[in-house]
Amino acid sequence: MSNLPRIGISAGDPSGIAAEVLSKALLQAELEPLFTPVVFGDASLAPLLPPGVELHAVSHLPPEDRKPAHPSLAGGRAQLAYVNAAIAAAKNKSLDALCTAPVSKEAILRTGIEFFGHTEWLAEAFECPVLMLMDGPKLRVALATNHLPLAQVSQALSVDGLVAQLQLLSSTLSAVLGRPARIAMLALNPHAGEGGLRGEEELHILRPALEKASGLGLLCKGPFPADGFFASLPEQPFDAVLAMYHDQGLCVAKAIDFENTVNVTLGLPLPRTSPDHGVAYDIAGQNKANPRPMLEALLRAAHYAKAFASSTPGR
């Protein structure tokens, strides 16, 4: 029996590029010795997948409900059903990691289901706090807040919340790196608040959180003004950055290396990764989609699964 990790893959939007990038990625030779792929998707995927891939046919959609670039209500329900099936398998301990292909939030919302993203859905399903990490070869950025309006970010930050996020980021990356992770925290306000002149969150929330985390033995520094920090990024000695809000971190991460940056959810009972792109209806069904982001997400899932197993007793 194989000791390779079992990676559960939800097949994404049947009207987008998910099937194309998944089938192309799974054909890449560099994946073959790393893990066993377990796909949760539509029965129509069977002829597209290479031998040895385990397919769980969650849906049997007719062609009109999986037509490229023409999302349907049935397709909206199906793509979330794939995610839910993978979650159920994970809860049954039959998977070592999850990798989610792109879904259409709009298509799912049109079915009447309140879905605002994989990260939030997984957090609710597993009933645990999570942290979004964009993991690229040149930059790792975690988000203290995810998809919040900018006006709500300040109220969402707290000393204990930031300390918990720093702890989660440190413990996960330390297992992956094989040494203590070095973390930078970005400031919320311009110029790190300038001693309270341009905002007091650094004085009352961010700095106390860093002091508390450092007292717990974490290697973390800041808060750094975002503009200056990213301008000197090649010289920074950090393994990851904790940004305070979505665009502060993700604009830079995607600009630096969009193709190879992977969305990782930390805090779940098992690792979860996803390519950092959407359903791309504009090129769906045209054989133009680049499988590299999906390939990187699968590679990262296997890498995190190995680190998770080595750092988790009993696995």
Residue 114 belongs to what H/E stretch? none
Give CA–CA dist 13/71, Å, rounded.
8
Ranking 81-90, 103-112, 247-256 by mean pLDDT, the lowest is 247-256
For residues 3 and 114, the model is more confident at 114
Instruction: Note the pTM of the prediction, 2 decimals.
Output: 0.89
Ranking 52-66, 110-124, 188-202 by mean pLDDT, the lowest is 188-202
Interval 254-280 mean pLDDT:
92
Interval 49-64 mean pLDDT:
95
* pLDDT surpassing 50 at residue 1: no
Residue 292 belongs to what H/E stretch? helix 292-311
Residue entry with tokens 């979650």: 87
Tokens of residue 41, six digits: 């998707």
- Band the pLDDT of 313: cuts 50, 70, 90: low
pLDDT tens string 207-255: 999 999 999 999 999 999 999 998 888 778 999 999 999 999 999 998 9
The number of beta carbons lying within 10 Å of the beta carbon of residue 113 is 11
pLDDT tens string 154-168: 999 999 999 999 999
Residue 265 belongs to what H/E stretch? strand 262-266
C-alpha distances (whole Å) from 145 to each of 19, 189, 249 are 31, 15, 10
Residue 252 · residue 141 · CB < 8 Å: yes
Interval 174-187 mean pLDDT:
95
* pLDDT surpassing 80 at residue 2: no
Helix/strand/coil for 293: helix
Q: Which residues sit opposite 36 in a β-bridge?
A: 6
Give CA–CA dist 297/7, Å, rounded.
11
Q: Write the DSSP symbol of residue 204.
A: I
